[in-house]
Amino acid sequence: MALQQTDGKILLIKTKKNEGIALIIVLWVMVMLTAIVGEFAYSMRTELNIARNFKEEEEAYQLALAGIEQAKMEILAVKESAYPSPYFNKNGILVFEQGQEEKDPEREGVFKNGKFSYTIIDEDGKLNINTASQEQIKHVIENSGMEIKDIDTVIDSIMDWKDTDNLHRLNGAEEEYYQSLEKPYSCKDMPFEITEELLLVKGMTGEIFFGSEGNEEKPKYDGMIHYLSAKNSTTININTAPQAVLEAYFGVAVAANIISQRKTLPILAPLGSGVIKSFFFTIISTGSNRDGTIKRTVKTIVHKNGDKLKTIYWNDNWIENTSQGKEQNV
């Protein structure tokens, strides 16, 4: 359009050039509005997804806690006079009372918004890493299915980590070694508080600690997490301890006798310094949303004392170690 004055009048004259400019301006406005609306919609959708994920993660966490509480109820339901307790049934599942040899306990729950499942592990079936001797720890590692080239380095370093002096053994390590690492830290020189501290020890690897699922080249290996504990009794439950632990604690001959008796029924009377009742248990509970895309796992260790349970370890962010098929603490 253009303005033209004729006989004192102003006339509005259309031109193709002005029409093109107006069209371009309109198009640009539409593009900008579309971009703004799209960005707003994307932002709102993102915030909605974040809110939904947060809600479902919180629900998964609460479901995991429900599993923890149900596990506690299962442990507390066992009478003090119940012997043996616990032991493994015919399917290798930990049970607490006689008569459960054939039927596995249902350790799961399903709700409208999700589900939970949990496992219970007997810590008294493991070797206490803080009281075990160097020979006992070495025997467990050597006889648990994995060949370790630098086993003396691992063993000596474990002993150096938990002793109180600053003198390293022949193949061990103390403060000087750990401070020389790319990311230095101190040697504890105190007892282990949790077994995951082993991952800080010289020579220890994730495979040695967590184990391996095995393949065509090497067999399955369970890992030290299944044999050693930092929070348990100083005695061993002869009904739940693995063979390598029994051998390290009682000797090969006695361990063979125990394993032989356990093949039919749980052992009903204590043997030597071994016991048939446990008081320390690990509970690992996982809650998930309806489709299983969001999960939350909680791990705790409890100490049973009479009709009470005391929580002595808690980790509400227990992450599965997918590379090894085991759990790990992150």
pLDDT at 81: 74
The CATH number of the domain holding residue 223 is 1.10.40.60
Whether residue 297 lies inside any domain: the answer is yes
The answer on 140 and 107 residing in a single domain is: no
Q: Residue 256 in contact with residue 39, Cβ under 8 Å? A: no
CB-based contacts of 46, cutoff 8 Å, min separation 6: none
Whether residue 317 lies inside any domain: the answer is yes
- Bridge partners of residue 282, in order along the sequence: 121, 301
Whether residue 43 lies inside any domain: the answer is no
| Dihedral sign from CA coordinates of 252, 255, 259, 261 | positive
157 to 147, 187, 283: CA distances (angstroms): 18, 10, 29
Round to whole Å and give the CA distance between 148 and 157.
14
pLDDT at 26: 78
pTM for this prediction:
0.81
Q: Residue 282 in contact with residue 255, Cβ under 8 Å? A: no
The answer on 219 and 136 residing in a single domain is: yes
CB-based contacts of 67, cutoff 8 Å, min separation 6: 107, 108, 109, 116, 117, 118, 283, 285, 286, 287, 298
User: Which domain range does residue 285 map to?
Assistant: 54-125+278-329
SS3 224: helix
**Low-confidence residues in the chain, pLDDT < 70:** 1-20, 52, 99-102, 146, 214, 320-330
The answer on 227 and 291 residing in a single domain is: no
End residue of a domain, out of 213, 231, 249: 231
The answer on 192 and 103 residing in a single domain is: no
The answer on 167 and 134 residing in a single domain is: yes
Q: Residue 180 in contact with residue 173, Cβ under 8 Å? A: no
pLDDT at 54: 75
The answer on 210 and 184 residing in a single domain is: yes
pLDDT at 76: 93
184 to 102, 180, 200, 202, 229: CA distances (angstroms): 52, 6, 11, 12, 26
pLDDT at 45: 77
How many alpha carbons lie under 13 Å from residue 27 in its C-beta half-sphere? 6
Show the beta-strand stretches assigned E in the chain: 2-6, 9-13, 87-88, 94-95, 108-111, 114-122, 127-128, 228-229, 280-289, 295-305, 308-315, 318-321, 326-329
The CATH number of the domain holding residue 105 is 3.30.1300.30
Whether residue 28 lies inside any domain: the answer is no
Structure tokens at 180: 């020389």
Whether residue 267 lies inside any domain: the answer is no
The structural domain count of the chain equals 2
pLDDT at 225: 92
The answer on 219 and 300 residing in a single domain is: no
pLDDT at 222: 82
